[in-house]
Amino acid sequence: MGLLGIVSRWAVFTGLLVAVGAVVFRMWVLRTGDSPSVEAGDESPDPSAAAPASLAGRFAALGSVLLVLGALGRLATELAVFRDPFEPWAAELSLLVTGTSFGSSWTAQLVLGLAACLAFAIAARSSRRGRATASWGLAILVTVGLAFTPAFSGHAAGSQHLRSLAITSDVLHVLAGGTWLGTLAVITWVAARSRATGFPIARERLVEWVARFSPVALLSATALAVTGAFASWLHLDAVASLWQSAYGQRLLIKVGVLSVIVGFGAYNWKQSRGKIAVSGEPGRLPSSVASELAAGLAILLVTAMLVTTPPPGE
């Protein structure tokens, strides 16, 4: 696939995880009562209370833009591989988009990505309760739809055994990753941007967010492990393929990086609330959170390489 293909898929995965994280942050970590909206005719809410939901929407809109750019990069990569140099490129592009399974999943990803940009942008600017609810509702639907697109353009769709279960597992894998790493990224972004805009998050409130997020992160980590193990069992023809095939070697790298993330996650689960509580006012997330996110970006890069690598036997 080359460098462009890997970077493009990394962009898609990163943008998708941020979108999932923004939805989880808004609907679970932040919750409706933490970010009051106004009805028609009411006064505008306290900016310090409204800012987190707005910032999460903006971050998700940026993530959706990254996803769309990644999708366009994927199209360019596939076209370079697919096209016949003796045929007009426009005809080859049309055939790729309209006449292949890649084209179907790519079109769905592009359309949903553009819809996500719009939905999150509206959500970020909505202060009235009805409009905010509708825009976030649309964002949820679009994000769930986006979570299906990697499965239909990756190894899951090409599986010769248990294809439906493989696709379902892949979707759950994406949602679990976004719920864990994506939500953590959104919390970090919102806390940092709130300080920059002059309405920092109070220490007690930040502790509450982390307390709400921690059990969800643990559940998501478990789901990642289970779905990842299932995919490994499905795509590896033998244990020896772990070190004898390029797919297996990259899978081992992914497991290694994931182990690092789990280590940071366990440390943050045990220590972060206590560290925030003594961090002064306004509260600050511990530096280990940045390390966890950096490892998360690394694992997305490894995943982008993995999904472009044929499993053993293909």
User: Whole-model pTM above 0.85?
Assistant: yes
Instruction: Measure Cα distances from 296 to 137, 301, 302 in Å.
Output: 27, 9, 10
Let me know: does 183 contact 210? Beta carbons within 8 Å: no
User: In the prediction, which pLDDT does 269 show?
Assistant: 83
284, β-bridge pairs:
none
Say how far apart CA 11 and CA 110 lie, in whole Å. 13
Degrees, nearest 5: CA angle 9-13-18: 150
- Sign of the CA dihedral with 21 first, then 26, 31, and 35 last: positive
Other Cβ atoms less than 10 A from the Cβ of 245: the count is: 20
Q: Return d(Cα 21, Cα 139) in angstroms, integer.
A: 12
Task: List, as one string, the DSSP characters of 226-259.
Answer: HHHHHHHHHH-SSTTHHHHSHHHHHHHHHHHHHH
Answer for the pair 79, 99: CB distance below 8 angstroms, yes or no.
no
State the angle between helix axes of 163-177 and 2-24 in degrees (0 to 180), rounded to the nearest 10. 70
Tens of each residue's pLDDT in the chain, 314 residues: 578 889 999 999 999 999 999 999 999 998 754 554 444 444 444 444 458 999 999 999 999 999 999 999 999 998 888 777 777 878 888 888 888 888 899 999 999 999 999 999 999 987 666 677 888 999 999 999 999 999 888 777 777 778 889 899 999 999 999 999 999 999 999 999 998 888 888 888 999 999 999 999 999 999 999 999 998 888 887 888 888 889 889 999 999 999 999 998 888 888 888 888 777 777 789 988 999 999 999 999 999 999 888 888 66
Name 38's bridge partners.
128
8 A C-beta contact, residue 170 and residue 154: yes
Alpha helices in the chain (DSSP H): 2-24, 47-82, 89-99, 101-125, 129-152, 163-177, 183-196, 203-235, 241-244, 246-277, 287-307
66 CB contacts (<8 Å, ≥6 apart)? 11, 14, 15, 18
Q: How many CB atoms lie under 10 A from the CB of residue 157?
A: 16
- ∠ CA 250-144-30 to the nearest 5 degrees? 100
CA neighbor of 1 nearest in space, from 310, 245, 314? 310
Task: Determine contact, residues 57/117, Cβ cutoff 8 Å.
Answer: no
pLDDT value for 107:
95
CA distances from 266 to 214, 254, 262, 293 (A): 10, 18, 6, 13
233, two tokens: 């069992």
Residue in the structure block whose two tokens are 């709400």: 212
